[in-house]
Structure formats: structure tokens, C-alpha cells
Amino acid sequence: MIDVHTHVVPRGWPDLAVACGGSGWPWLKVETEREAVIMIRDREFRRIDSSCWDPAVRFADMAADGVARQVVSPTPVFFGYDRAPDQAVKLARIFNDLTLEITAGDPRLIPFCQVPLQDPAAACAELDRCLAAGHAGVEIGNHVGDRDLDDAGIVEFLQHCAAVGAPVFVHPWDMADGPRLDRWMARWLTGMPAETHLSALALILGGVLDQVPESLRLCFAHGGGSLPFWLGRADNAWHRRGDLVRGRSTRPPSGYTDRFYVDSVVFSEPALRLLVDTMGEDRVVVGSDYPYPLGERPVGNVVRTASFLTDTQRTKLLSANAKRFLAG
């Protein structure tokens, strides 16, 4: 089994105010050898443990869950898209190099880098540097401020990814907040699916998938968010209100499901069935969101136990589709 959706946090990094300039950077409050807290200024963002940085802990969990390989991606809070480009370049270099130290060339861990996506030229340069250094692909956030994935600069970066053969993992981040969302983890439970849905539509209706070559390999986290459930609604709007909805797309949204992958971290068999029925058995890959508490453990459990999957389909979801996403 290959898990395409896991995250890493180094156990410490340089003072980012000194290394990158500016202020208000995330920092790590280390509490014990195994426990730490990601802080933003004086606010606790997330409590983490050594599974975020210790390969031995990660390997033990992988063995317990039957995972042969993991894609190891940044944690989105470190993207730095709201920073000046020169600061974001320095930030990306620091965390990308620390990720390579954690993975240490072990083939079980497949490092994906981050890039300063707010600056297309700098993002392309950092991707090239990382690929040469040992990264296998890139994780990007689903938007940069108010610029979605159909922004000209982001499309330029995606075209570069296609040209150099780098797979792209798209992860939601920077969700809207407010009194109605700042309870019950609603930003994560409703905001993340909505963000992913919106950005997948931006790729389609913004004409991106008509512009970039079919060799571009994209995967959306969290089962594509709410898009698979509402794809029929998008098709209906494309046909009935094409004056407002079609944008630059040449086909209805369902005509593009063969252009990107989604991960399987949807937690229930009925949801997985909908995902496979909507996206196709060749476009779903195992993802877990390891090591965070909203992830799936044991990894791939829903895929392993789903009664509707044939043995051939199960093999596709557990490994074959991920191999194609990673290697083309």
C-alpha cells in the first residue's frame, strides 16, 4: 500500500525572523522528547508528537498498518503564501531541506516539497532545486489569497510541473473563519471540503485543464472535498446556466474526472463507493492525513474492507493508481 497523503513537521528550525526577515512566524514549543506545540506568535496552533519528525515512529506505524511507502508533504501552516516572495523562498528552502534530512533517502518515504507559489518564477526555481536534491513532487495549497488555481501565475507553475514531470498534491488551507466556523472544528469539517471543491471547479471552469497538457499529474486531498457529491449539480448548472458557469471549459465538469486523482480519506464505505463511482476506479488513491488526529487509522482501512470493491479494483486503489500518479 502507498499512502499519498501524509505530513511532516521538523523537530525545530532556525529563528525564521532572523533567517527570513519579518515577524509573526510559526515556531515550535518543544515540551518533551516526544511532544511539541506549533505556535503562531503566542497562540497554540496544533499539538504534535514525534510521529511528525521521527522516522522510527513513522516506520513502526507504517508496519502496523501495512503501508509500504508514504508521500511525505509539508504541513500547510508553513506555506508562507502571505509573505513577501523573497521571504517565502527562504522559508521553503529551510523546510524543504529539513524534510530531506528526515526522509534521509529512505525509499519508504517519498518527499514532496513546498514552493513560494505567490511568485511563479521563484516557485519553478525552487521546484527544480528540490527535484535535483531528491524530492519527488510538490504539495501546493489550493489558493494564494484570492487567487485560485486558474490564476495565470499558478497555471504557469502547473505547466512547469507538467514539463518537468513533477506530480502535484493539492491540499486545502487558510479556510474562512468567523463565529459560525470557530467551533466544533467546523473550519476543518466544512471549510476544507468546500475549499477543495471550489479549487477543483476553478481548474475545470477556469479552463486550466484545457490549457495544461494531459501529462500533468494532480491529486486533491480529502477525497476531492465535496466535489464528487455535487458534481451532478455542477453539470446541471453548466448545461442550464452556461452563460454564467461554463467559463473557459469546453466540457461539463464530469468530463474532466480523468484528469486528476483524489485520495481515499473519506472514512466510510458509502462515501468511498460514491467516490469510485464518480471519479472512476483508476483515479482514487489511498491517503490517510497521517499523523494528524483527523486522519484515517489504520491507514487504508475503508479501502481494505469495502465490500463493493473487486480484488482488481482494491489493488488499484491500494497501490497501482498511486504508482501511476507518482511516476506517470
Q: What is the pLDDT of residues 281-314, one digit of tens each?
A: 999 999 999 999 999 999 999 999 999 999 999 9
Cis peptide before 298 (omega within 30 of 0): yes
pLDDT mean across residues, the chain: 96
pLDDT at 177: 83
CB-CB contact of 83 with 44 (8 Å) = no
Q: In the predicted model, what is the mean pLDDT of residues 32-45?
A: 92
User: Could you give the angle at the alpha carbon of 315 between the alpha carbons of 311 and 319, nearest 5°?
Assistant: 170
Give me the phi and psi of 177, to 5 degrees please: -130, -175
pLDDT at 275: 98
- Write the pLDDT tens digit of every residue in 83-122: 999 999 999 999 999 999 999 999 999 999 999 999 999 9
Integer Cα distance of 193 and 223 in angstroms: 9
What does 281-327 look like in DSSP terms, one character per residue? TTSEE----BTSTTS-SSTTHHHHH-TT--HHHHHIIIIIHHHHHHH
pTM: 0.96
Q: Which amino acid is at 238?
A: W
pLDDT at 34: 93
- Write the pLDDT tens digit of every residue in 125-169: 999 999 999 999 999 999 999 999 999 999 999 999 999 999 999
